[in-house]
Each structure stands twice: as structure tokens, then as C-alpha cells.
Amino acid sequence: MTYKPIKKKNNAIVLLAGLGLAIGAMYSLRRCNSSDMPWRPVASGGDTIDVAIEYSPMSFYRYNDTLGGFNYDLLRTIAKRHDMTLKFHPIVSLSQSLEYIDNNTYDLLAADLPATADFKERYTLLEPVLLDKQVLVQRRDSTSGVPHVKSQLDLAGDTVWIVEGSSVESRITNLGREIGDTIYMRFEPEYGAEQLFLMVATGEINNAVISERVARDLVKDYPDVDISTNISFTQFQSWIISEKRPSLGDSLNLWISDFKKTKEYDALMKRYVK
């Protein structure tokens, strides 16, 4: 595996690992034989910080020759300010990335991650980077234009798809208790929120629960898709730091907190969020 330098300035170095393979084959590999030996990332070592970054409209994307995304630009800015060397590993499987955080292959995971209580118990979450909430993605009826689920109560006994490993699982379990009925879940093990949205839009699945900011960005191109039903209240979104890098976590908490007070952060929010 080769790595291509993307930017080097003021001793801050940003590297990108395997983007073309990770994204270009996203759908074509969906039903390929999984018996082949999978590629596994290797920790870089030294001062390089291995960052698993979710490929999504909010977190990280590639459009033609342009790289962008809220998490990507925020990390690059912090790296430039504090002379950090980052190597980005674009990901589409959240559950696999969490495994690599657990075994200390990745130092940092930047994704659309609600900071739920169960995730706070399992992982070391950093200073929140923004606010978001979870919504139900579903198609409107082709005749009436009205979605099947109009409120959370309509989910009683229904099934929703979520990304495997997502912290939203606990929210849906709790929501089932709140409405007094079971909400069944099915888990997408390979891909992220954007792909779940597209699976709903194309009729492959009936509904899914994903980040509102991701859904809002995608729904512009799919008028038959409804995202009006909230599944959670507004929640903090945080990155996960590996347990092997506690001092890095302390530094990032301070740097993120300080950066959120700047005009640069306001500009990022205006560009990607507001």
C-alpha cells in the first residue's frame, strides 16, 4: 500500500491512505466473495497520527480532485496550528474502524458519532466538535406523498436499519421502551450513513436512522425521501481517541475547545453545518 502526501506546510503533514480503493469500489464490492484475505491497516508509528475518517457528506468527501468535509478540514486546521503529522484512512465500515481503535491501530476516529452514555463508557470521547441529531429516513408514498411513519409511535413493531457499531443503537432501544413496544434493528456492517440513505431512496430497504446533517445534505437530490421524523434530541458529536494516546487526547481536547472560539471555526460551521 502506498501513501500520497496531500499537504505539507509549517511542519504539518497530512497524508491520505487508499482513498481510491476505499471509495471507488464501494458498491461494486458489496456482494463479492468475502473469503479473500482482507487488507488490514498498519499503525504508522513515530509521530504520525493515524486518523480513521468516515467517508460521508459531513465528515469527508472527494468531489473530482477536491477533498473536503467538516471533520477533514477541522483536523487539517488543527494539524497546521500545532505541527501535527496526520495520516488519513478513509473508512466506510464504522464497526471495523472501532475494532481498529480497540486494538490501537488507529489513533483517532473522526465520524458522525453521537456522544451517547454507552459510548462514553466504552471509548474515550474528545471535546464535542458540533451538535447533531438522528432522524428517520423513509420514502414518501408514491400516491399521497405522505410517509408511512409520521411520529415515533408509528415505529412500534417496525424495523429500522442502522450502521453496525453506531451509538444510535442504544437510542433506538430506549425509544422502544418509551413507546412501550419493540423497534427491531438491522445492521449494515460494511458501509455508512450515506449508503443507508441511498438504499432507502432506491427502495432496497424501507427506512434507516442516520445523522440529520448527512440526511439533510443528501435529501436535496431525492424529493421522494422524507427525513422529518426525529429519533433523538440534539446531541454532541465527538471523535474517539485511542487509549494508547492519552496525552494526545488531552492536547486535542484543549485545541478543539480553543478553536471553537475562533472565527475560523465559525467559517467551517457556516460552510458545512449552518
CATH of 134-233, one of 3.40.50.1260, 3.40.190.10, 3.30.43.10, 1.10.3720.10: 3.40.190.10
Class of domain 3-131+236-272: alpha beta
Q: What integer pLDDT is reported at residue 8 of this predicted model?
A: 37
pLDDT level of residue 142 (50, 70, 90 thresholds)? confident
Q: Is-same-fold flag (3-131+236-272; 134-233)?
A: yes
Among 10-24, 68-82, 125-139, where is mean pLDDT lowest?
10-24
pLDDT value of position 70 = 94
Q: Give the pTM.
A: 0.79
23 has a pLDDT exceeding 80 = no
Tell me which H or E stretch contains 13.
strand 12-17
DSSP 7-74: EEETTEEEEEESHHHHHHTTTTTTTS-TTSPPP------TTEEEEEEE-BTTTBEEETTEEE-HHHHH
What ranges do the domains of the chain cover? 3-131+236-272, 134-233
Helix (H/G/I), strand (E/B), else coil: 256: helix
Q: What angle do CA 34, 37, 40 make, to 5 degrees?
A: 110
Q: What is the mean pLDDT of residues 84-103?
A: 91
The confidence score (pLDDT) of residue 3 equals 30
Is 50 exceeded by the pLDDT of residue 1? Answer: no
